[in-house]
Every structure is written in structure tokens, then in C-alpha cells.
């Protein structure tokens, strides 16, 4: 039986993807791994999919692609919105955008275009037509069984809290542990620093939990870019901090010998063995522009 051919991108999506590729070429065609390291928010695979996939990616993903290529966010936000609006009117099933730019600036949210790239190889149209009525026939013959299962699950769901006890915070290793970021004491995000220089970045955190912080560190989670990026120690000690206390944590940073580089380095709290103590928390970071 003949197989259907892979769907082509709609013209609006193809035009947008081609423009993104051109942006990356103008930026020197950095590898997707390097782009992901510079972004610190998305993986290299996600960035790669932005220009190879068959669906318009959410704005958050496109924004990180643009940032990694030093593009103009406002310009690309407008381009993304236009493409999304055109694709929303294209034929075919659609799905919502995770968070469109309009949802960030008060505009009406824009529906994202459907995924055109199938997860498995598409079947012939006669195969699809033959199975079109199958779900309806199955439901008519099994509706009582489905309702019975849902009823049992509802009863179990109501009973579980009676035996589970207090909820567990899965974001932390030690129950009661919690941290709050207060401020950048030095060098706020976007600060301009000279090339081939040294500076000290300082964060301020507060222990807002019930666990005393002892023998803890901030560990760098980004891949070092060598001489092309900002160099730091891999691990920074955190002074002992009792619950309710505030603590300032410094890190010495060496900028690359050449300017025109943006450095973003992320850190997570770990113990002496390197185990993340707050895996559900977002990392803290510094972000400077070397000029």
C-alpha cells in the first residue's frame, strides 16, 4: 500500500525558518551546543528543532535562539507573531502556544500552528478511513467499563491523602529546606565589563527554610567555553547560614581576552559530594556583556 509523503512546511513557516537560519549564519554559525550554553534556558536539541522541525516553536524557544545569535528580540517577536497569525489561519488541526508574546505584553494570545511532522510514519488515507469509526464503536460497547474504572480511581484518589500524611516538597532533598534569591549585590544582569579583566560577582540569598545550611556550595552547571567565555571556579563555598539568615556569596570571574562576548553562567546549590540539594529550584546566574 503506498505511503503518504512527508508534509511540507507551510510557506509562512518556511519563510520564518529560513530567516532564522540566516540569522545564525550572520552570527558566525555557532554550534547548537554553544548556543544552548549561551542561553542557559533550553537544550541544543530544542534549538536545533527550531530550524528543522515542522511546527512553529513557542516564542520562549525562538527568543532563546535569537538571543544566542545576538538578534533583535523586538524585531523577532513581531516576526514570530506575524508567522503565528498566518499559520493559525492555515487549514489543518491546531494546538495552543505554550506562551505567546501577546500573553506577556497584554495582547490577545495567538494560537500556534499544528505540528506537521508526524511522530511515526503516516499511513495511507484508506487505512485512516477504515479506522475512522472505530473509536465510536469501541465507546458504545465499553462505556460501562470505563465509567466503573473512573469511579474506582475517584474513590482511591480521595482516600490516598488520608494515608499519605503531609505533602512532600519534591523540589528539595531535605524536607523543610528552602532558599530565596534577594538581589545582585554587584554587577546586575546586563552589566558591561572590560575584556581580559577580573571582577567579583556577589549574590545575596536568604535561608527561608528550617534546615541549617552547612558544608554547602554553589556549583557551576554550564559547560566552560575555555578562553572564549568567562572563567570561574567550578565550586564556590557557601558560608554556614541558619534559618532566617541572609548570606552573601562572592565568585571571582575572569573575562575573555577579546570583547563582544556575552557571558551567562548558572549555578546550583550542592553538598560536599556534589549532590544537588534543591533540584526543583531554578539556578542562580550572572550575565554580563564583555566589551
Using one digit for the tens of pLDDT, what is the confidence trace for 182-201?
A: 999 999 999 999 999 999 99
- What is the C-alpha separation between 211 and 217, in angstroms, rounded? 15
Which cell goes with 215?
Answer: 558544608
54-57, Cβ contacts within 8 angstroms, sequence gap of 24 or more: 54/7, 54/9, 54/13, 54/115, 54/116, 54/117, 55/13, 55/112, 55/113, 55/114, 55/115, 55/116, 55/117, 56/13, 56/16, 56/80, 56/83, 56/84, 56/87, 56/112, 56/113
Name the more confident of 215 and 42.
215
Q: Which residues contact 228 (CB under 8 A, 6 or more apart)?
A: 256, 261
pLDDT tens digits, one per residue of 59-100: 999 999 999 999 999 999 999 999 999 988 754 433 444 444
Answer whether 0.95 is exceeded by the pTM: no
DSSP type of residue 222: S
Q: Quick one: pLDDT at residue 39?
A: 82
| Residue 270 neighbours by CB distance under 10 Å | 20
| Residue 167 neighbours by CB distance under 10 Å | 7
Q: Which domains does the chain have, with CATH numbers?
A: 11-105 (1.10.260), 179-290 (2.60.40.10)
Q: Quick one: pLDDT at residue 127?
A: 37
| Residue 262 neighbours by CB distance under 10 Å | 16
- What is the C-alpha separation between 141 and 98, in angstroms, rounded? 36
53 phi and psi angles, rounded to 5 deg:
-80, 180
Q: Closest by alpha carbon to 290, among 265, 269, 272?
A: 265
pLDDT tens digits, one per residue of 109-150: 333 333 333 333 334 433 333 444 445 555 555 565 656 666
Considering only 31-35, 97-101, 122-126, 238-242, which range has the smallest mean pLDDT? Answer: 122-126
- Helical H segments across the chain, by residue range: 11-26, 32-39, 44-52, 59-68, 73-88, 101-105, 125-131, 134-164
Amino acid at each position: 500500500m503506498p505511503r503518504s509523503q512527508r508534509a511540507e512546511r507551510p510557506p509562512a513557516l518556511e519563510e520564518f525558518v529560513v530567516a532564522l537560519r540566516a540569522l545564525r549564519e550572520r552570527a558566525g554559525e555557532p554550534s547548537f551546543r554553544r548556543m544552548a550554553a549561551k542561553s542557559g534556558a533550553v537544550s541544543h536539541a530544542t534549538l536545533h528543532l527550531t530550524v528543522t522541525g515542522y511546527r512553529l516553536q513557542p516564542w520562549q524557544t525562538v527568543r532563546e535562539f535569537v538571543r544566542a545569535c545576538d538578534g533583535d528580540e523586538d524585531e523577532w517577536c513581531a516576526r514570530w507573531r506575524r508567522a503565528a497569525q498566518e499559520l493559525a489561519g492555515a487549514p489543518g488541526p491546531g494546538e495552543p502556544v505554550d506562551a505567546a508574546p501577546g500573553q506577556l505584553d497584554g495582547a490577545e494570545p495567538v494560537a500556534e500552528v499544528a505540528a506537521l511532522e508526524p511522530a511515526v510514519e503516516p499511513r495511507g488515507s484508506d487505512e485512516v478511513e477504515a479506522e475512522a469509526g472505530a473509536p465510536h464503536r469501541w465507546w458504545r460497547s465499553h462505556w460501562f467499563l470505563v465509567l466503573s474504572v473512573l469511579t474506582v480511581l475517584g474513590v482511591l484518589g480521595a482516600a490516598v491523602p488520608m494515608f499519605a500524611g503531609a505533602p512532600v516538597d519534591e523540589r528539595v532533598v531535605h524536607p523543610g529546606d528552602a532558599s530565596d534569591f534577594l538581589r545582585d549585590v554587584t554587577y546586575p544582569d546586563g552589566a558591561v565589563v572590560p575584556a581580559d579583566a577580573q571582577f567579583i560577582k556577589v549574590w545575596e540569598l536568604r535561608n527561608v527554610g528550617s534546615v541549617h545550611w552547612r558544608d554547602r556550595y554553589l556549583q557551576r552547571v554550564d559547560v566552560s567555553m575555555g578562553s572564549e567565555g568567562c572563567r570561574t571556579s567550578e565550586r564556590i563555598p557557601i558560608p554556614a547560614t541558619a534559618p532566617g539568615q541572609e548570606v552573601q556569596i562572592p565568585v571571582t570571574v575572569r573575562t575573555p581576552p577579546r570583547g563582544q562576548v556575552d557571558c551567562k553562567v548558572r549555578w546550583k546549590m550542592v553538598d560536599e559530594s556534589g549532590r544537588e540539594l534543591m533540584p526543583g529550584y531554578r539556578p542562580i546566574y550572572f550575565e554580563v556583556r564583555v566589551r
